Structure 1
Amino acid sequence: MSGPLSHIKVLDLSRVLAAPWAAQNLADLGADVIKVERPVKGDDSRAFAPPFLKDTEGNVTRESAYYCAANRGKRSITVDLSKPEGQQLVRDLAREVDVILENYKVGDLARYGLGYEDIKAINPAIIYCSVTGFGQTGPEKDRPGYDFMAQGMGGLMSVTGERDDLPGGGPQRVGVPIIDLTTGMYASIAICAALANRAVTGKGQWIDVSLLDSCVAFLANQAMNYFATGESPKAIGNAHPNIVPYQTFKTSDGALILACGNDNLFNKFCEVADCMHLAKDPLYSTNGARVKNREAITALLNEIFLTRTTREWVKLLDQAGVANGPINTVAQVFEEPQVLARGMKIELPHAVAGKVSLVGSPMKFSETPIVHEVPPPALGQHTDEILTKVLKKTTEQVAALKAQGIV
């Protein structure tokens, strides 16, 4: 393996998305990630389908596309954690790794002798990351949590979507499970920070990351808008609460995003759009004035954008150095020359489907480049390999574990 974490070993006891996403990030960075799954059923997300992958002959497999989104770069072993022998296998694996990721409900793994204190006793340097809906403390720590719940409870849905008084208005969740993904990213950062600290101190630690905390942190400028004014921000569709114009506009044949992040960009826009009178008007000459007079300036710009096609606007604005862009479908994303040039679509061989198309990592390194080599595993694909090569089990011992339904 290559990558900046190629010296790190990870035990992934998680399922679905938030924690598996973090483990996938570590795998992308070169870590050796062993994913522990339930026998027969595996990770819950293996059942989040259709769609399923198709094999080289076009036949539908039982490999869900959802599972593949968060599990590339990992090896899969099946272990029954409800049995003492299965719990011992995980403890044995825990002795061999640097990081453990889990997203069981608070206290669940401790019942199996696999909680942080249990693992710390056999591997004092372990970095143990727990991902839950509400965290390890607080009055709601025992509640199950999902992305959708966190988006609502954490306030994100209240600022997402069209204005309440317009058609289609009302709270909306983001079109991808953004809080699962954000929580996974926070967990990834925390793990890397803990590894850096351990390199200096020699000490491991327990990391506590939750969906709700991550959503609250993700409110960012909207939270600060509330702190500054005492008023809860509201959904305003594709507009920006603090910058104007920073939104979508209809063109003569479609739509376009215009992002004037400062007054200089607004002036450049006005030059190419032949509306310099707006840049000189005190009502619109500064961002603060435009935010105050949002509806009026938006109405004027709506009329201007209808005079040209999307392609014509993109060409003009690009030449002027004004940030803009089309609104692509997912299919169009993977036709974008820049997306393809950056290696954001990759293809790897797959044990069941023959090959699988995946989204590549966005992280680029000059000295320790990421190399995608390991596809999302089939359920239990590496059980024998891990038992014999990592835990040094004999062929007879592996056969016995299988006969007992432990793996």
Structure 2
Amino acid sequence: MSDLPPLAAPTPKALEGVKVLDLSRVLAGPWATQMLGDLGADILKIEQPGQGDDTRRWGGPALADGSGDSAYFLCANRNKRSLAIDLSTPEGAALIRRLALQSDIVVENFRVGGLAKYGLDHAALSALNPRLIYCSITGFGQTGPYADKGGYDFLIQAMGGLMSITGLPDGVPGGGPMKVGVPIVDLFTGIYATVAILAALRHRDATGQGQHIDCALLDTQLSMLSNQASRYLNGGAVPGRLGNDHPDIVPYRDYACADGDIVVALGNDRQFRDFAAILGLGALLEDPRFASVSLRSANRAALHDLIGPAVARWHVDDLVVAMEAAKLPAGKVQGIPEILADPQVAARGAVQTLARDDGTPLRVVGFPVTLSATPARYDRAPPRAGSDTRAVLGEVLGVSEVELDVLAASGVIGG
């Protein structure tokens, strides 16, 4: 009898048995399907033979396993199997239709109408599989005067108002519109797509009826304007760029300490009083200009001029400790290497290590929510382009080795 402890039983998968056919590329669609894969769905990622997802070659650094796959690709494609199928060929499109017959969900981000010429649009596939949930992700949606336009994250950040409220104000050094440091519209669209897919899946399981999900980057961007849109819609206020200032709450920004930067986020009068006491600025509490949240907002420039020099005398870590002791929200402005090495990140298991089929290790930031019964799983490293083509077509569709050889020789499949 072995003295080794028994292996722990694998945790259950929330989306066990859900099959996803992923026709998307770049980020918004792959971000959504990666989340579904983390929760246990079986993701078949369709890629162009000889090319793969565009992001496989997007800049450096590349994974040191000879594949040339970029760090960008690795962030959005774990828990998937890759099939290299040329869907622009009749034979490739026929394979996709056969896979769709056995799928619960299709995700695609082609231009509006781009898949119709191959018989792979919602109308065609839902006619074959009425239970199919078909999610389309585009820049501007399936309807409206901009439906035919291509949409990209940077473009939508500009058009959608986000850059008008991001960056330093006009008239100061470095002032002007600024995009966010990550492709946030793509990422949020992927999240909204995932929420919609799960809602549609529940409806399908209750009624047997699939549906078409129409996700647009611009629609997502508008929803993300949140309080800023509401300020205009309900009060007529036109938001502008304030740098790191908050439009309503002061002090709620970054300040320079002696050895780094700190962010303070004080939302009420009690917090302001305690902060002034820590800084030795009790006189601020007697100044009528700073007697309330609204008055501090109206006189923000004068208040910052008084707080700045007092904060500059502190070392950032010391001030964070002092503020936390007083139950005041504060944090050091950290770089990406610092936060990824942070003990809180380690305690939460936020960074996971996976291994490719040749043993090459890679690290990813995992699913950001903990589920007590069905936690996220990290079963598959981001795949090599087309690495699962033959195995999946044989397993799922029963395509013989002879047929696979013919399809490969004619360029319909790769891998």
TM range (shorter): over 0.9
Runs of 4+ in 1 over 3 A off after TM superposition: 279-282
* 1:277 positional shift: 3.5
Partner of 1:12: 22
* 1:272 positional shift: 2.6
Secondary structure of the 1:63 match is: coil
| Deviation by residue 1:87-136 (Cα, 9 ceiling, x = unmatched) | 01001110111111000000011111011111111111111100001100
TM-score normalised by L of structure 1 = 0.96
Tell whether the 8 Å contact from 1:147 to 1:177 is kept in structure 2 after alignment.
yes
Tell whether the 8 Å contact from 2:12 to 2:373 is kept in structure 1 after alignment.
no
1:124-139 maps to which residues of 2 (within 5 A)? 124-139=130-145
| Deviation by residue 1:346-370 (Cα, 9 ceiling, x = unmatched) | 1100236711111111011001111
* 1:46 positional shift: 1.2
Tell whether the 8 Å contact from 2:67 to 2:384 is kept in structure 1 after alignment.
no
1:304 to 303, 310, 315: 310
1:6-405 maps to which residues of 2 (within 5 A)? 6-55=16-65, 61-351=67-357, 354-405=360-411
* 1:156 positional shift: 0.3
- Cα 1:125–1:155 change in 2 (3 A) is same
The alignment of Structure 1 onto Structure 2 pairs a total of residues equal to 403
* 1:86 positional shift: 0.4
Mapped partners of 1:295, 1:229: distance in 2: 23
- Cα 1:179–1:263 change in 2 (3 A) is same
Tell whether the 8 Å contact from 1:163 to 1:234 is kept in structure 2 after alignment.
yes
* 1:274 positional shift: 3.0
Secondary structure of the 2:46 match is: strand
* 1:69 positional shift: 1.0
* 1:338 positional shift: 0.3
Paired AA for residue 17 in structure 1: L
- Aligned residues: CA RMSD: 1.4
Paired AA for residue 14 in structure 2: P
| Deviation by residue 1:21-61 (Cα, 9 ceiling, x = unmatched) | 11111111111110000000011111212221113xxxx64
Question: Once the two structures are aligned, what percentage of the paired residues are identical?
Answer: 44
* 1:279 positional shift: 3.7
Paired AA for residue 100 in structure 1: V
Tell whether the 8 Å contact from 2:21 to 2:99 is kept in structure 1 after alignment.
yes
TM-score normalised by L of structure 2 = 0.94
* 1:245 positional shift: 1.1
Mapped partners of 1:352, 1:236: distance in 2: 49
Paired AA for residue 136 in structure 1: Q
* 1:263 positional shift: 2.5
Tell whether the 8 Å contact from 2:18 to 2:41 is kept in structure 1 after alignment.
yes
* 1:186 positional shift: 0.8
Tell whether the 8 Å contact from 1:352 to 1:378 is kept in structure 2 after alignment.
no
Tell whether the 8 Å contact from 2:24 to 2:109 is kept in structure 1 after alignment.
yes
Mapped partners of 1:171, 1:153: distance in 2: 11
Tell whether the 8 Å contact from 1:61 to 1:353 is kept in structure 2 after alignment.
no
Secondary structure of the 2:190 match is: helix
Mapped partners of 2:408, 2:307: distance in 1: 68
* 1:231 positional shift: 3.6
- Cα 1:217–1:120 change in 2 (3 A) is same
Tell whether the 8 Å contact from 1:159 to 1:234 is kept in structure 2 after alignment.
yes
